[in-house]
Structure 1
Amino acid sequence: MTGRDKARSGGRRLAGLIAAGTAVALALAAGGSLSQAGAATDATQATQASTVQAGKPKPTHSQIQVLAINDFHGNLEPAGGSGGNVNGIPAGGAVYLATHLKELRAAAKAKGQDSVTVAAGDLIGASPLLSAAFHDEPTIEALNGMGLEAASVGNHEFDEGWRELLRMQSGGCLPDGDGQNNQNSCPDEDHPFEGAKFKYLAANVYFENTQKTLFAPYTIKTFEDGRKVGFIGMTLEDTPNIVTKAGVEGLTFTDEVATANALVPVLKSKGVESIVVLLHEGGFPADRTAYNSCPGISGPVVAINAGLDPEIDAIISGHTHQGYNCSLPDKDKKPRLVTSASSFGRLVTEVRLSVDNATGDVDRVNTLANNQIVTRDVTPDRRTANLIAKYKELVAPIENKVIGHITTPSVVRTPDDSLESPLGNLIADAQLADPSVVTGGKVPVAAFMNPGGIREHLLSNSGAVTFGHAFTVQPFNNFLVSMDMTGTQIKALLEQQFSGVNGPEAEKFKVLQVAGITYTWNPAAPAGSKVVAGSIKIGGQPLVEGTTYRIVTNNFLSDGGDGFPAFSTATNKFFGGLDIDAFANYLTAHDPYTPVATDRISVGS
């Protein structure tokens, strides 16, 4: 809200509201949140109620509840390990998320408040098998039942390509056969997939040929009394760099700040004064446990907030899987909420927009947010439970098939000091051994795997590994690609682990997991020369820069994803089978499997 608007509305505020606003501002300035400031808000509501009862003018302000989630990633069941709790409190699970949303809406309704439910991207993609086996149709159905109304697209919404994302919105079934590639669209013939009832938003995703957005750039929620809230939905501009190239072919992704700012006058021309951005990009608080504050927050969302038009009243963010609740200054040095609800349905952000009833604008000082843990001590939602039970029965034959055994309780993705991991070695070995990538007699001699694509440790049931276990590790259904790279290109590739977007400014280096290749890197060396000269060996022999080598990786990296453009310079590319199939087949062929030493990458000088 502009300074002029505040001056115009200030004279109409009740004394009780002013007092409450002061208390809230002090609480937020001290790093507090809704829980600390709630008493002031409740006092305000009581003052307003008594004023109306006394026959005096109606309150100058009212509240609108905005409930938000992000980065759900198809986690219909509670995630395991650290992804299934918040600071040690068990959290998440669609049956509990649905209940918490219902209870929060009911509480708002009891106070006479309107409510709207939104999301900030990555609702699907990188999903557990229960959802992924059916192209994430179960997750869309579950979110429909939870009352979601609008969501920005995230990068993982493009995992199966933008055409498949359009189907997620509009519905329909894929002719993929019954369980082909361990997937099955519309498995219940009596209930075809109807698509998302909520609106996907993609303000900064354009078709290159038409310059039209993939989905609507914004949506306007109009309440019964005529009040309006506009929601602008965007994914991060860097999406093409972190998804498969084929999935975004023909699309252009534009700058988040410029895109949102250009839409502000459009919304205002439609009578919208309250504007919220749903942004699939985020930040990193210095204290990752402080989910209801944001001490020392860094990351892209900080700069984006600083550049956004002051007319934008709140930013609901995602992508980084962090929980935070911030009040950051906008260009006019006025407070603006910036929030994120962690991931996997473990938190729900409740925003209470305080709206000036005369102007329709948001009173920032009295606008509050609270990240609420989705605890599992509530009654599970029956409709969601029935939906999950149906798909668990349908997925069981695929999920429970034993594909091999391991001789240890698990094979971990936890890296050593060189950033090499036992599970990374297993996956790279599986890729190198996969016969589907051999063409013209050319057999790969080295393999590379991105660590971000290894989503969980490989677990077992008393040593038995199922397809479900394997899929939890590699849920993306990427294709393997073999290609020719020169020694010079491979050397450049290894340096890209420590430079560019993976350089010192990144949260951590992005060291590829390898097979068939060994080398040493020096943490103290400058970017561009961290790989120790002469240390690179392929097949036990020193790398020769002018020699061409056949290597294998997944199609995501093949396109230059994760900041590895060296892969995009490779030649004679050949697409093989799915990475998950190579992984499963390797475990079957090496049954039982014993983890090997992490001695392929070393740290030295």
Structure 2
Amino acid sequence: MRNLFRPILALTIMLAPVASLAQTAPVGLRILAINDFHGYLRPPPGGITITDPEDATRKITVEAGGAEHMATLVGQLRDGHKNSIFVAAGDLIGASPFLSAMFHDEPTIEALSMMGLNISAVGNHEFDEGKDELLRMQNGGCHPVDQCQGPHPFTGAKFRYLAASTFEKSSGKTVFPAYEIRTFEGIPVAFIGLTLKGTPGLVSPVGIAGLEFRDEADTVNALIPELKARGVEAIVVLIHEGGLPTGDYNECSGISGPIVDIVKKFDKAVDVVVSGHTHRAYVCEIDGRLVTSGDKYGTLVTAIDLKLDPVTRDVVSAKAGNNIVRTATLAKDAQQTALLDAYDRLAAPIANRPAGSITATLSRVPNAAGESPLGDIIADAQLAATGAEAKGGAVIAFTNPGGVRADVTRREDGAVTYADLFASQPFRNQLVTLTLSGKQIKDMLEQQWRDPKRPRILQVSKGFSYAWDGSKGDGERIIAERMSLNGQPIDPAAHYRVTVNNFLFVGGDGFTVLTEGTAPLIGVYDVDALHTYFAANSPIAPTAADRIVRIN
């Protein structure tokens, strides 16, 4: 790998005599990249927030996204470029809105295939329905339970999933190919795909049973000799892991997070890194490499321009820019419109079903203690669905913050549809009511800090409250005497019926204490519980979000 940020003209003069410039003129390659699409076939509510081009002191919101507009932009960005490739850094599916999720994300796979996606890394959300379902996304066929629901047979992705660091324990082989080599005017370029090492803590253990997720940097570095033996010098990594910058969508101010250390550990042969997972946008230079990310939900397409030396076959120049998928100025692609309309005709009667109403937007954004108004409502709905009247006997309900995916945004008339609720609870997890001791409840709450840098604060139902102290160490953050149910202290030796979703029940997000619960009773799906709650309690107002108290 060369210094990618030196002027390309200087490199050309240095590398070739004047008489042979024609033979050694750099070969251009445009890489278009997306990440964390999450099935947002329609533009996401809220678009993207950027710095006002006319006033750097304020932020503005730009309506952006949607497969119809993205397809048009991809076509425009490819136009005039002899060599191009369209890639992704994972989480194309999973945690999806109703239109995609109702059909197990088949519409998203079809839409991205139709717009010419070539290669994608596997993200953690690709495993939301398990390894076998992900293989179906690649290869096609009907869903094993819901069968063929779409307007036509599902034939699978026309793009190739890559997962270099994801191995079958039994065979020692990767679930998907580790890399793919594409040749541009005789120059081979390798694309390595990586799932983040932390995937087991983010998805249901059942869905990834028998799989191993290895270290990202170690995996890439082990592949370098093999690639070089195949004559490859230009190497691009597609990784579902990312960073946290403070700047605008084409900046890299103060970036932190896992991607920084990972890139620094990569062999110097790695030229470019396309990242994701953190739902942020940035264009960075980290350790002499170009590192990019394109926000989330299809609001941006990253255009990366490389110059390849035909003699050394290495990258000699790299630059990038994020391009907004502006709904106001980009025409809709007719093929995408036809595809979405075909699925809409099947989904609309269910999606548009009235659910109830709200007095104000129910936000999923947590306060300093980790509690959100929407999280409270969802936990209340799950308690209502499994309490004494529902024969589950639950007295407390908990739900994981990662399962609360979108605000329930108030329209002018306050009406809420089934699709609105589904967007906030898209995983379609079943509720499970089980028995835990008071001590086990405390131990479970302590597991919220399995990763102290990114605590996962569970949302709790009305009547239950507790306090935590962030200055304490492992096993000591929950203040035992501040745990109460309906004003009465939680007794460590007493037993309580507790409701969670089946993702948590099997130890998802690291809440392994829940696997010790007894007398489990399977209930309704979480989104159906929420729909029933809205029907019975509308209009619904935001909660005070005062059930969880943070001391330090």
Task: Look up the match of 1:43.
Answer: none
Q: 1:600 is matched with which residue: 525, 547, 550?
A: 547
Q: Encode CA deviations 1:489-524: one digit per residue, 9 max, x unaligned.
A: 211222333x330x2x33xx4321111421123345
Cα distance between partner residues in 1 of 2:410 and 2:251: 38
Name the amino acid aligned to 1:226.
Answer: G
Cα distance between partner residues in 1 of 2:135 and 2:423: 25
Q: How does 1:264-275 map to 2 (within 5 A)?
A: 264-275=224-235
Task: Look up the match of 1:163.
Answer: 132
Q: How does 1:214-225 map to 2 (within 5 A)?
A: 214-223=175-184, 225=185
Task: Look up the match of 2:525.
Answer: 578
Q: 1:535 to 1:426 in 2, by over 3 A?
A: same
Q: 1:436 to 1:243 in 2, by over 3 A?
A: farther
Cα distance between partner residues in 2 of 1:537 and 1:385: 53
Q: Under a length normalisation based on structure 1, what TM-score does the superposition of the two structures give?
A: 0.83
**Cα drift, residue 570 of structure 1:** 3.1
What SS does structure 2 have at the residue aligned with 1:350? strand
What percent identity do the matched residue pairs reach?
A: 46
Q: 1:446 to 1:316 in 2, by over 3 A?
A: same
**Cα drift, residue 325 of structure 1:** 0.8
**Cα drift, residue 133 of structure 1:** 1.0
Q: 1:424 is matched with which residue: 375, 395, 416?
A: 375
Cα distance between partner residues in 1 of 2:115 and 2:443: 48
Moved more, 561-570 or 89-98: 561-570
Cα distance between partner residues in 2 of 1:84 and 1:196: 31
**Cα drift, residue 67 of structure 1:** 0.9
Contact (CA 8 Å) 1:437, 1:482: kept in 2 or not?
Answer: no
Q: How does 1:238-387 map to 2 (within 5 A)?
A: 238-287=198-247, 290-329=248-287, 335-363=288-316, 366-376=317-327, 377-387=329-339
Task: Look up the match of 1:133.
Answer: 102
Q: 1:517 is matched with which residue: 459, 464, 467?
A: 464
Task: Look up the match of 1:478.
Answer: 429
**Cα drift, residue 244 of structure 1:** 1.3
Q: Give the RMSD, CA atoms, in angstroms.
A: 2.8
Match status 1:17 vs 2:22: no
What SS does structure 1 have at the residue aligned with 2:22? coil
Name the amino acid aligned to 2:364.
Answer: R
Task: Look up the match of 1:193.
Answer: 154
Q: 1:291 to 1:594 in 2, by over 3 A?
A: closer
Cα distance between partner residues in 1 of 2:65 and 2:103: 21
**Cα drift, residue 560 of structure 1:** 2.8
What SS does structure 2 have at the residue aligned with 1:459? coil
Contact (CA 8 Å) 2:36, 2:296: kept in 1 or not?
Answer: yes
Cα distance between partner residues in 2 of 1:378 and 1:269: 44
Cα distance between partner residues in 2 of 1:119 and 1:16: 27
What SS does structure 2 have at the residue aligned with 1:372? strand
Contact (CA 8 Å) 1:78, 1:84: kept in 2 or not?
Answer: no
**Cα drift, residue 82 of structure 1:** 4.9
Contact (CA 8 Å) 2:435, 2:518: kept in 1 or not?
Answer: yes
Q: Encode CA deviations 1:352-403: one digit per residue, 9 max, x unaligned.
A: 122110121112xx22112122222122211111111222222110101112
Q: How does 1:31-180 map to 2 (within 5 A)?
A: 57-83=22-48, 87-109=60-82, 114-174=83-143, 176-177=145-146
Q: 1:72 to 1:208 in 2, by over 3 A?
A: same
5+ residue gaps, structure 2, are 52-59
Cα distance between partner residues in 2 of 1:121 and 1:208: 22
Cα distance between partner residues in 2 of 1:123 and 1:258: 25
Larger Rg: 1
Cα distance between partner residues in 2 of 1:604 and 1:123: 39
**Cα drift, residue 460 of structure 1:** 4.9
**Cα drift, residue 484 of structure 1:** 2.3
Q: 1:541 is matched with which residue: 452, 470, 488?
A: 488
Name the amino acid aligned to 2:153.
Answer: P
Q: Under a length normalisation based on structure 2, what TM-score does the superposition of the two structures give?
A: 0.91
Q: 1:89 to 1:531 in 2, by over 3 A?
A: same
Cα distance between partner residues in 2 of 1:20 and 1:60: 7
Moved more, 342-351 or 451-460: 451-460
**Cα drift, residue 58 of structure 1:** 2.7
Contact (CA 8 Å) 1:412, 1:458: kept in 2 or not?
Answer: yes
Task: Look up the match of 1:459.
Answer: 409
What SS does structure 2 have at the residue aligned with 1:415? coil
Cα distance between partner residues in 2 of 1:273 and 1:437: 65
Task: Look up the match of 2:57.
Answer: none
Cα distance between partner residues in 1 of 2:344 and 2:50: 22
Cα distance between partner residues in 1 of 2:480 and 2:380: 25
Contact (CA 8 Å) 1:437, 1:481: kept in 2 or not?
Answer: no
**Cα drift, residue 564 of structure 1:** 3.0
Name the amino acid aligned to 1:482.
Answer: T
**Cα drift, residue 258 of structure 1:** 1.1
Match status 1:531 vs 2:478: yes
Cα distance between partner residues in 1 of 2:158 and 2:269: 29
Q: Encode CA deviations 1:77-122: one digit per residue, 9 max, x unaligned.
A: 110025587852222111111111111111323xxxx111110000
Contact (CA 8 Å) 2:241, 2:259: kept in 1 or not?
Answer: yes
Task: Look up the match of 2:438.
Answer: 487
Cα distance between partner residues in 2 of 1:74 and 1:283: 22
Task: Look up the match of 1:36.
Answer: none
Q: 1:204 is matched with which residue: 165, 170, 176?
A: 165
What SS does structure 2 have at the residue aligned with 1:187? coil
Name the amino acid aligned to 1:296.
Answer: G
Cα distance between partner residues in 1 of 2:201 and 2:516: 15
Cα distance between partner residues in 1 of 2:216 and 2:388: 39
What SS does structure 2 have at the residue aligned with 1:81? coil
**Cα drift, residue 569 of structure 1:** 3.6
**Cα drift, residue 2 of structure 1:** 6.4
Q: Encode CA deviations 1:439-489: one digit per residue, 9 max, x unaligned.
A: 9x6612211111222122223552332111110111111121222222222
Q: How many residues align?
A: 540
Q: Encode CA deviations 1:538-581: one digit per residue, 9 max, x unaligned.
A: 24321111222221111222233334333334344343221111
Q: 1:566 is matched with which residue: 501, 513, 526?
A: 513
Q: Encode CA deviations 1:136-187: one digit per residue, 9 max, x unaligned.
A: 111111101111110011011111111111111111112545xxxxxx7442
